[in-house]
Amino acid sequence: MKKFKAHTSTCPIVHTMTYIGGKWKPIILGRLVNGAVRFGKLAVQIPDISRKILAEQLKELEEDGLIIRHSYNEKPPRVEYELSGIGQTVIPVLMAMTELGSEMHEAITKHKRSVTRAH
């Protein structure tokens, strides 16, 4: 996703999308709501994300200050990610998305069936 020009915009939703608009970011953040999680565990818990994209998105989230990366100097490596203070301000959005998800998925599935039938 090409970066928005957040500084030139006055629309708050554009700002939000600038920071959590990546395809996987809300899903990653959602996994961190209950505490720190290791890289490998995120890769397993999030269906269909590739390790490359996971690593990229985590790096962006860290650079924006939404998450904190804890690297323990061990071999094999152990790295944990957790929400920062800024990251926690996103929780209301994540909750709203969580509440919406199943409900909307059902409604849209039904809608599409009816449209198909009406052909």
Partner DNA sequence: CAGTTTTAGTTACTTTATGAAACTAAAGTA
Partner DNA sequence: TACTTTAGTTTCATAAAGTAACTAAAACTG
Residues that bind DNA (CB under 7 A): 1-3, 22-24, 38-41, 48-53, 55-59, 69, 71, 75-79
Q: How many CA atoms lie within 13 A of 80 on its CB side?
A: 12
**Which of a copy of itself, DNA, none does residue 38 bind to, with CB < 5 to 8 Å depending on kind?**
DNA
| Residue with Cβ nearer DNA (78 or 105) | 78
- The verdict on 43 binding a copy of itself (CB under 8 A) reads no
How, if at all, do strands 78-83 and 67-72 pair?
Answer: antiparallel
List 34, 35, 48, 117, residue binding a copy of itself (CB under 8 A): 48
- The verdict on 65 binding a copy of itself (CB under 8 A) reads yes
- The verdict on 118 binding a copy of itself (CB under 8 A) reads no
According to DSSP, residue 76 is labeled S
Cα 42 off chain centre by: 11
Contact 82, 28 (CB under 8 A): no
Which tokens belong to 93? 């959005």
